[in-house]
Amino acid sequence: MLRSPGRMFFGRSPDSSNEPLFSSPDPLLLSQMLLEAMMLSHLIFLLLIHAANAIVLRSSGRWILDASTGQRVKLRCANWAGHQEASIPEGLQHQPVANIAQWLSTNRFNCVRLTFSIDMALNPNQRVSDSFTAAASAAGVSTSSMQNLYTQAVSKNSWLSSATTRGTFARVIQELEARNVMVILDNHVSRASWCCGTSDGNGWWASASGYNAGNSRFFDTNNWLSGLRSMASFAQSHPNVVGISLRNELRAVGSQDGNGHADWYNFVTQGARAVREGNSNLLVVVGGVSYALDLSFIYNKMLDRNVFGDKLVWEFHNYQWSGIGNTCASHQKMMGDRAGYLLVQNKTYTGPLILSEYGWAQNNPTAAENAYVSCLVQYMENNDAEWAYWALQGSYYVREGRVNFDETFGLLNNDWSGWRNSSFPRTLGKMFDVTQGP
């Protein structure tokens, strides 16, 4: 019930003519207000410093440029997985995160493609201790085994004992920043798990035409957009985060994507808008269909560049099993037809192109793998494009039901202490170098 205000008086009350108009301020209250004002000023100051130090990149034709200097920036990245059930970047049970960041910098990597799940993006305050416990049932392993991994991780990184999953991503990014390593955040999956297949529920937007539960049951479009927006906003506090990849290895089954890629154009555009709403400084990295192997359809129908501004970057993947044909010529033609043509200057579709996943067994590669690598390196040397090797990690907390799963494609050995194969830099030839530019 509303009470009648009755008569209203300004200044002194008619019943308190001898009382002062204002009472003396409470010194404790004033002190608290002053402290809060100082803390707010300090926060604003830190944000301004971050903004001033932020690495802002832009696209210009086929090149990625430093927005402040106009100089070319060539991305030479390693993929660091953080999208699986534990919901933090891999390897912290083996090494302090500072050691891993230093290894990357020392070995000429200037960038990390850091993968994340929408599960993590929408639950940023989950404690790491809880995420490891919850990961047990999700990954199909014992709770004790995950708790042991958590204990090992805390022994190497004591700050994890009070950390959240989002806070862990922040710490990893900060350690990379301290060593001048940039970060591209990559939305790898919605449900935190290993990727990729057509039955993992992460392959294609659930709200697109031709819904297939096996391929799309976890790929909620609204959650995806919210997660992208959240991670883009998170990146504002991290000046070395330079971009976000909208989604890893989109893949349709059955009648999905049977409408001239209309759903792809629609949802990729929505994803780009979500990123731009969260942080307009970020590059927006866009992959095609069929496990990021195919962007050929862009030749005839370009995305709306007004949505992207000068932030659009294309990405594609290439492995030995990617339908590369029987000869190097067929392999290189396939890459050119499906994605490489996007580097041709002065076309409506021209843009930077990053080979954001490629890889091979670092221990005892087969003759076929060696032929694949040799052909790929030749192609990449010729066009001097950006790249991200899969993968940095020498092992996983858990993958496909196995704890401490060994990653044979890993640059690092199983305990993340050094090269799995120290000949890797020589194998890449001039791919680490900058040989072309605007």
Lowest mean pLDDT across 38-42, 82-86, 205-209, 278-282: 38-42
Return mean pLDDT, the chain: 91
pLDDT of residue 53: 76
User: Token pair for residue 242?
Assistant: 């330079």
Q: Which residues contact 62 (CB under 8 A, 6 or more apart)?
A: 342, 343, 344, 345, 350, 351, 352, 353
E strand or H helix that includes residue 433? none
Alpha helix segments (H runs only) across 163-220: 165-177, 213-216
**Is residue 2 packed enough to be buried (19+ CB in 10 Å), middle (13-18) or exposed (0-12)?**
exposed
Q: What is the pLDDT of residues 115-139, one digit of tens each?
A: 999 999 999 999 999 999 999 999 9
pTM: 0.88
280-298 average pLDDT score: 98
Neighbouring CB atoms inside 10 A of 97's CB total 23
At 15 the pLDDT is 39
Q: Which residues are registered as beta bridge partners of 412? A: 419
DSSP 304: -
pLDDT range class, residue 318, cuts 50, 70, 90: very high
Q: What is the rounded average pLDDT of the residues 251-274?
A: 97
Read off the amino acid at residue 23: S
Per-residue confidence band for 5, with pLDDT thresholds at 50, 70 and 90: very low
Average pLDDT over residues 200-222: 98
37-70 pLDDT, tens digit per residue, is 554 444 444 444 445 579 999 999 999 999 999 9
pLDDT (average), residues 335-348: 98
State what percent of residues in the chain have pLDDT above 70. Answer: 88
- Above pLDDT 90, what percent of the chain? 87
Q: Predicted confidence band at 32 (pLDDT cuts at 50, 70, 90)?
A: low
Give the pLDDT of residue 184: 98
pLDDT of residue 28: 56
Are 153 and 212 a contacting pair, CB within 8 Å? no
What is the C-alpha separation between 64 and 345, in angstroms, rounded?
13
Under 8 Å between Cβ of 174 and 114: no
Tens digit of each residue's pLDDT (9 = 90 or more) over 147-181:
999 999 999 999 999 999 999 999 999 999 999 99
- How do residues 70-99 score in pLDDT, each as one tens digit? 999 999 999 999 999 999 999 999 999 999
Of 45-49, 121-125, 299-303, 358-362, the one with minimum mean pLDDT is 45-49
Q: Report pLDDT for 219.
A: 98
Residue-level pLDDT at 29 = 53
